[in-house]
Structures are given as structure tokens and as C-alpha cells.
Amino acid sequence: TDTYFQLADHLVTGRLEPSQVEEYWKLKPRQIDLVGNLQQAVVKRDILASLSALSSPHAGYARLRQALSDYRQLAANGGWPAVNSTEKLELGSRGVAVQQLRARLRASGDLSGPDAVDPAYFDAILQDAVVHFQERHGLTADGVVGPNTLRTLNVPIAQRIRAMELNLERWRWLPETLGERYIEVNIPGYQLRLVEQGEDKLKARVIVGRSKRPTPIFSADMSYLVFSPYWYVPRTIMVEDKLPILRKNPYALRKQGIRIFSGNREIDPGSVNWSNVSKRSFSYSMRQDPGKYNALGDIKFMFPNQHSVYIHDTSSPRLFERDQRAFSSGCVRIDSPVELAEYLLRDTKWDRDTIVKASQRGRERRVDLQTKVPVYMLYWTSWVDSDGTVQFRDDIYDRDTALAQALFSS
């Protein structure tokens, strides 16, 4: 009986209390009558079926669990070979390393079909397989095996299996449902999804916090949008990023539309000897005007929370072209803010034209949502898409490392 309850509890809510490794995790776990469940199992004489029924109801959990089973079988059969190359491999390359690459990609399912006539030659079919591998690992999908792709190819299968196990644990922490409509930000995946009734209505690239200022893992309800927003500069950014600039040139921030206040009074930045102002004694506030230099871009999406984290547009869209996008100070920048606003405000007077006009008007305007939308800041380093594609991403904040230590160190 004790063993049953322990297994059942692990299946329902996970082996760990989430707060042991994620300080701000406040989601309520699933609530299931385990005593009643066991009683029914005894009557039906099927303990295993009753335990299986306790698994997370989310489709993503089932897909990842099946993928884990497949990868464990692959590992039992020998896993995949290493690719040994000191030069990049690309269309037209030839040699033993190309043969190793074929074997590696065939083992992981990225390469299929009949064997090549010349397995030592890098042909177009192999190039397509490399692109597929790169896409599902968050790499530049150029079909060229350079240092980053080679490093990723040579990650041992045991490490991938461990990542799957850790992410299954994260699935068990989630409630029974995330809501009929919700927004999910996958921090290591640099992706935002707006989901409605189980279907992705919008996918967007995002920029998240850098390792020294990470985006926290938490949830909150989005309640309003702001067009042409002011940016009230957080204290950390003022003292760590802006103060050194002021010491070199007190008027440098004016070019970016940033005003400096003492209390409620705007001051002339040249009237302060910034060299005598320390991080501790800094007693000013900063506000950036709406416009093309505004760090928040033209729209921000607000879900009030203790971290002062929100989703917003950006004045530096070129950063979205990078594969690794941990550049912010904790907030989440989105590459398609107008599309997100358009979907959130559908069935209202706001259409694309009015959204664009309001966002570029230069006067701040708040618009409340008719219905709040849950926002989940989550951390998936392995998942399976609805089409069965197994995805992996780098552990950018070492959260997998912390979770693995808590789960397996004993």
C-alpha cells in the first residue's frame, strides 16, 4: 500500500516539491483521491492500469514519455556514433567523417530512406537531414556541420535521456489544465506560443533574460496592454548600466529619450556630478519617452507580478535573427507584438490598423483585456512537437543541472 501511494504521488505531482528548485513556482498541483483510486483498483484487480491513469493528462507529457521510451531502446541498441571532424562538413565534402555523420543522423531518425550510393559523399539528401537536425536543436539551419552543430551531434544519448526525464518531472508539476486560452513562454526555446483549445494560434520568437538577469519561472494573468509605452527604468539597470554612461557623458541618455527625475522633478543631467554618485547613494529615477528609441518598442503586454516582468516589443529587432537569444534583463521581447495584440483584442473595436496607429502615436494608452489570459513562463529543454519531432535545447540557466542534482544526487 505504501509503495502504491508513493508511486501514485510521484505520477500525480512529481517526485520533488517544485519550490525546492524553482523559488517562484506557485501553481497548484493536481488533486486526486489516491485512496479512492486504490480501492477501485483493488475491486477491478488492475493496479497497473490505475497507476497508468494517474499520469499527466497533457498531450505533451504523453509524447515526451513515448520519445523517452524510444530513446532508451535506441541506447540499449548502442546509441549513436560520434562524428570526428576537424573541418566543417558541407555539401560536396567527402571522407570518413561524412560516413560517420550519415550513421549518426540515421540513428536519431533525421536521415531516412535508402542507403546512399556513395556514403562518403555529402549529398543534398544528407544536407536536408542536417537541416532537420539543426532545426530541432535550435541551431542555425544552414545544412553545414560547423563547431556548434558538431558539438550538438556528439552529445551522448544518455544526456538526452536525462533531459527527457527532467522535463517529464516538470510536466508533473503542472495543474490539470492550463486553461482554454493561455500564453506559454519556453525560456530555453526562445519561443512564445498562444494556445487556444489545445491548438497553437500564434508562435513567436522571443528574447529572454541573460544568465546574470534570468527570466524567472512563474505564472500570472495578463490583464492589459499598453500602446506607445513609457519605460520606467528598473533600479538595477539604472545603477549598473546607465550610471557608467552618465559618468562619461551626462547628456548621453537624452539622445535615447531618457529623462532623469529627482522625486517628481525632472533635472538637468549636467547639474549632477555623477562621478560622486555611487550605486548605493543613487536616488534618481529614469523614464524613457515613447518613440523609436524606447526599449519596450511600441507595445507592452502586462501580467502584474512580483518580478516586474512583462512581454514587450523591442527597438532592436535584429537580435531575433540569432539562435541564442538570452540578451534581456529579465523581461521577454517578442518579434511579432502586433500579431499578439491583434489576437488578444479580437472581437473588439481594435483591428490591425487601429493597433498599429495607437502603437506609433507617441502617446501612452492602456487597453484592458475583456478576459484575463494566463501566462506561463516555463523551462523546457526537451519536448515533442505535435507532429512527433523531438526537440532539445541548451540548459541556458543550469536549471536542468539543479533539478538533476535534487532528483538523483541521493
Q: How far is CA 60 from CA 13, 95, 115, 158, in A?
A: 16, 40, 33, 21
pLDDT of residue 55: 73
Give me 371's grid cell: 478576459
Q: What 8-state DSSP symbol labels residue 118? A: S
Q: Which of 305, 322, 285 is nearest to 210 (CA)?
A: 322
Amino acid at position 392, single letter? F
- How far apart (Å, rounded) are the C-alpha atoms in residues 314 and 300? 9
pLDDT of residue 52: 67
Which top CATH class is 181-384? mainly beta
- How far apart (Å, rounded) are the C-alpha atoms in residues 99 and 79? 16
209, β-bridge pairs: 328
Task: State what percent of residues in the chain have pLDDT above 70.
Answer: 92
Q: What 8-state DSSP symbol labels residue 289? A: P
Cβ-based neighbours of 174, under 8 Å, separated by 6 or more: 27, 56, 58
- How far apart (Å, rounded) are the C-alpha atoms in residues 237 and 142? 36
Question: In terms of DSSP bridges, do strands 332-334 and 218-227 run parallel, antiparallel, or are they unpaired?
Answer: unpaired
- How far apart (Å, rounded) are the C-alpha atoms in residues 378 and 327? 17
Residue 2's Cβ-count burial label (10 Å; 0-12, 13-18, 19+) is exposed
pLDDT in tens, 278-312: 999 999 999 999 998 999 999 999 999 999 999 99
Q: Is the per-residue pLDDT at 29 higher than 80?
A: no
Question: What average pLDDT does the structure give for the chain?
Answer: 93
pTM of the predicted structure, to 2 decimals: 0.90
pLDDT of residue 204: 98
Q: Is the per-residue pLDDT at 11 higher than 90?
A: no
Roughly how many angstroms between the first and final C-alpha of the chain, as a whole number? 24
Question: In terms of DSSP bridges, do strands 181-186 and 382-384 run parallel, antiparallel, or are they unpaired?
Answer: unpaired
pLDDT of residue 351: 96
pLDDT in tens, 57-73: 899 999 999 999 999 99
pLDDT of residue 28: 78
Cβ atoms of 54 and 31 closer than 8 Å:
no
Domain parsing of the chain, residue ranges: 181-384
Q: Which of 179, 176, 180, 218 is nearest to 31 (CA)?
A: 176
pLDDT of residue 4: 66
In which element (H, E) is residue 67 found? helix 59-76
In which element (H, E) is residue 224 found? strand 218-227
* 3-state class (DSSP) for residue 393: coil
pLDDT band at 356 (very low <50, low <70, confident <90, very high): very high
Q: Strand 258-262: give its sheet, edge to edge.
A: 231-232, 285-288, 258-262, 265-266
Q: Which of 13-22, 166-175, 232-241, 318-327 has the lowest mean pLDDT?
A: 13-22
pLDDT in tens, 310-338: 999 998 899 999 999 999 999 999 999 99
pLDDT in tens, 31-87: 766 666 656 766 676 667 666 666 788 999 999 999 999 999 999 999 999 999 999
